[in-house]
A and B are shown apart, each in its own frame.
Chain A
């Protein structure tokens, strides 16, 4: 199975900050990497798919990139509504696997 290692597990940031979250795959997954946002008590929301494609309706301050087996989610200017937990997920092969999550706190 492909393991997804996400870092950091949590971070503290302020409104307006640039935030970067990373995810590393245990083997090559091409660009088959998605990013989800989850707020407490809510279902996850797809932000980025195929490593760098912005899902419809998602603000452009969110972006994704990849380099080999390393993937990055960047929030260019953190907004109050962005405080949440973020998960990466590989869609390359079954069983699909998620990273452990990154909680973004004030």
Chain B
């Protein structure tokens, strides 16, 4: 079956512009996660959605970052007024659930964001 898909695969933008990154999780997966991967860094957790519960936004680095998940499926990560330090690969993952046997995360290919 189809895995997690993300679009665009690459995005180049100018400092100060807004960008939207999209994630389509695996069908039937109730949990969705966004991470940021910078060169030489591990995965930085950004935000987590689970079903209809309030999202865990504790990893968002600033109020320029926001995310939503419509209809419990597709998610959009928005970065407003982009800065050069926002340049990174943004990874989306989904999992069937959040229990011990269902919380394995499956990742999309990522969106490489470059802010000039």
Binding partners A and B = no
Using a CB–CB cutoff of 8 Å, the interface residues on chain A facing chain B are none
Using a CB–CB cutoff of 8 Å, the interface residues on chain B facing chain A are none
